[in-house]
């Protein structure tokens, strides 16, 4: 049986008081908004209207990776307040912070859940996600990646309950995102589409969504990045959200497993690591004539060579053609990195043993 649920309500419209009122927000609302977005856009008209009937608690301090310290600040400040919903306006870290806090405001220690000392609870307060970068899929995924900044451990809370209860896609809000970051995060979206198609955990519904997303990225990502084209941006933002659902019902493959090791090692972003690793992973898939890759390119109406060239020209046009050497990795580190790769590596149909990981890394130098 293949299961795939497309939920919750997703609204594609400019962010406004009226659009927010499509969701029952309650009387005490926490608003988490990314600092750059807060400084770039004028939200006072919306917030002032909300304040007429509701109490708002507005924070714009969440840093990349959603560190515990930033989450605890909100929990401590709002201790005793009966927060009923959270509106998260920002990139993946702001949305993941909101998802984590939605559990914490039901009285559960998010740290216990993070360290597997407690189960994910079966209730939380409502979260409305308004993504301002397109790629992580945090707005619809079943996970929240956060960072224990004291013990330097990055990890996640996972479970269907943590999926936001509503999403508002406003392409204009993506204009505050610098073009290079837009391009890199857009490539992360592409990796979600390719990997959730290739993964052993995939299903026919996820594959259809992947193909549509890959076609959108090929057609519209350069326009969205270079021309700030809002129609193009909207298509990428919708694809990113749908890939959040794909991540929930399928899985990523080896590039994501390996990036979790090279990211902290090199101090580079999730997307930068993936871009570099795609050089080696796609070559490995093509060299091993992987059936799943043949199916993917067939669905796109291409052959493997045309597909590889298309990815290469996309990287060139966006000026993101990185290798792991560019990220600071040397050949003599490959054995050590390969040994440290954990997680469900077998979901990648090209995985045989640690030698596969070494090959991908060597191809990516």
The residue with its CB nearest to Fe ion is 188
- Residue 184 binds Fe ion (CB under 5 A): no
Q: How far is 25 from 37, CA to CA, in rounded Å?
A: 22
- Residue 195 binds Fe ion (CB under 5 A): no
Q: How far is the CB of 256 from Fe ion (least distance, A)?
A: 6
Considering only 54-62, 72-80, 183-191, 299-307, which stretch makes contact with Fe ion by CB under 5 A?
183-191
Q: How far is the CB of 241 from Fe ion (least distance, A)?
A: 14
- Residue 188 binds Fe ion (CB under 5 A): yes
**Cβ distance to Fe ion smaller for residue 85 or 141:** 141
Using CB under 5 A as the binding criterion, the count of chain residues that bind Fe ion stands at: 1
**Cβ distance to Fe ion smaller for residue 184 or 188:** 188
**Cβ distance to Fe ion smaller for residue 99 or 124:** 99
**Cβ distance to Fe ion smaller for residue 139 or 188:** 188
Residue 349 neighbours by CB distance under 10 Å: 17
Residue 131 neighbours by CB distance under 10 Å: 29
Q: How far is 183 from 249, CA to CA, in rounded Å?
A: 25
Q: How far is 144 from 125, CA to CA, in rounded Å?
A: 15
Q: How far is the CB of 199 from Fe ion (least distance, A)?
A: 13
Q: How far is the CB of 192 from Fe ion (least distance, A)?
A: 6
Crossing angle of helices 179-198/204-226, nearest 10°?
160
Residues 94, 3, 8, 248, Cα dihedral to 10°: 0
List binders of Fe ion among 242-281 (CB under 5 A).
none
Q: How far is the CB of 188 from Fe ion (least distance, A)?
A: 4
Q: How far is the CB of 42 from Fe ion (least distance, A)?
A: 31
Query: Could you say which DSSP state residue 141 is in?
Result: -
Q: How far is 47 from 40, CA to CA, in rounded Å?
A: 15
359 Cβ contact list (under 8 Å, min separation 6): 280, 284
Catalog residues that contact Fe ion under the rule CB under 5 A. 188
């Amino acid at each position: 049986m293949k299961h795939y649920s497309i939920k919750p309500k997703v609204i594609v419209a400019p962010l406004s008081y009226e659009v927010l009122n499509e969701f029952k927000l309650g009387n005490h609302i926490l608003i988490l908004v990314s600092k750059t977005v807060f400084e770039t856009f004028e939200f006072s008209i919306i917030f002032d209207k909300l304040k007429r009937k509701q109490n708002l608690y507005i924070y714009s301090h969440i840093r990349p990776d959603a560190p515990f310290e930033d989450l605890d600040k909100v929990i401590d400040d709002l201790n005793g307040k009966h927060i009923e919903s959270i509106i998260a306006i920002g990139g993946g870290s702001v949305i993941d912070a909101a998802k984590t806090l939605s559990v914490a405001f039901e009285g559960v220690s998010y740290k216990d859940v993070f360290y597997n000392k407690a189960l994910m609870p079966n209730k939380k307060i409502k979260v409305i996600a308004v993504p301002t970068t397109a790629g992580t899929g945090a707005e619809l995924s079943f996970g929240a990646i956060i960072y224990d900044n004291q013990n330097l451990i990055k990890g996640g809370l996972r479970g269907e309950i943590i999926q936001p209860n509503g999403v508002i896609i406003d392409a204009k809000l993506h204009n505050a995102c610098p073009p290079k970051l837009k391009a890199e995060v857009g490539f992360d979206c592409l990796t979600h589409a390719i990997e959730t198609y290739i993964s052993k955990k995939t299903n026919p519904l996820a594959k259809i969504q992947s193909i549509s997303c890959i076609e959108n990225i090929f057609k519209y990502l350069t326009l969205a990045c270079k021309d700030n084209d809002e129609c193009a941006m909207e298509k990428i933002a919708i694809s990113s959200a749908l890939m959040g659902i794909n991540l929930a019902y399928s899985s990523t493959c080896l590039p994501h497993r390996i990036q979790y090791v090279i990211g902290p090692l090199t101090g580079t972003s999730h997307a930068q690591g993936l871009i570099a690793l795609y050089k080696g992973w796609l070559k490995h898939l093509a060299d091993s004539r992987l059936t799943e890759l043949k199916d993917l390119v067939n669905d796109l109406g291409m052959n493997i060579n045309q597909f590889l060239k298309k990815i290469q020209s996309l990287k060139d046009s966006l000026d993101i053609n990185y290798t792991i050497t560019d990220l600071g990795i040397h050949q003599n580190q490959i054995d050590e990195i390969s040994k440290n790769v954990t997680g469900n590596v077998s979901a990648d149909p090209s995985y045989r043993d640690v030698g596969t990981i070494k090959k991908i890394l060597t191809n990516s130098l």
